[in-house]
Amino acid sequence: MEAPKVARRRSTFLAPVWLALLAFAALAIASVAFWTRATTTTIVLVRHAEKQLGTIEDPPLTQEGDERAQRLAGLFGDRSAVGAVQAIYATKTRRAQATAAPLAARLGLPVAIADDPPGALARRLRREQHGGVTLVVGHSNTVPQIVAALTSRQDIPAIADDDFGTIYVVTVPDVGRASVLRLRY
């Protein structure tokens, strides 16, 4: 018996074109979704304020250090401002905690302990504070290392032993390179 003459066979000539259009549409939708959710994380890093010199292992701040901590709170303490600090991290030393305390009190924020190694802390900040503005109070030997880890730059200058007024503002976008701004207060 022979096959009916009305049977048709489908042509697959346009299948690659349709598949390419479908793949392009999916890529376009994924790109738009990624782009609209992409953001920038801003991390402000400072060294603790002036500490009392003495024989104790974890000295408190001097009067000048207390005044510097108050200036820091004045700089970043406006909760209603655009780009307000949303999280504060500091090492567990008395001088770092005392430097962060006026700003934390002014904003009503807790101070998270940041005793991770610099590279691990940089990853933690990017993960926990994604898209936010964060202040980190560290030490002369850790702040430049954290900045270098956030920006992938190796030319971050060391902080001198008598330098307590340097601020680094690091912006880390989801797409593109991180940038750093060095200021004094």
CA 148 to the chain's CA centroid: 12
Q: Is 46 within 8 Å of 137 (Cβ atoms)?
A: yes
Q: Is 75 within 8 Å of 185 (Cβ atoms)?
A: yes
- Rounded alpha-carbon distances, angstroms, from residue 180 to 72, 85, 147: 19, 17, 8
Q: What is the mean pLDDT of residues 29-55?
A: 87
Q: Which of 171, 179, 184 is nearest to 40 (CA)?
A: 171
- Per DSSP, the three-state class of 150 is helix
Instruction: Determine how many CB atoms are found less than 10 A away from the CB of residue 66.
Output: 17
pLDDT tens digit sequence for 141-164: 999 999 999 999 999 999 999 999
- Residue range 39-184 forms a domain whose CATH class is alpha beta
DSSP for 124-170 reads: HHHHHTTTSEEEEEE-TTTHHHHHHHHHT-S-PPPPPTT---EEEEE
Residue 75 has pLDDT above 90, yes or no: yes
pLDDT tens digit sequence for 93-135: 999 999 999 999 999 999 999 999 999 999 999 999 999 999 9
Q: Which amino acid is at 132?
A: G
**Domain segments of the chain: what residues?**
39-184
Q: What is the mean pLDDT of residues 50-66?
A: 92
Read off the pTM. 0.81
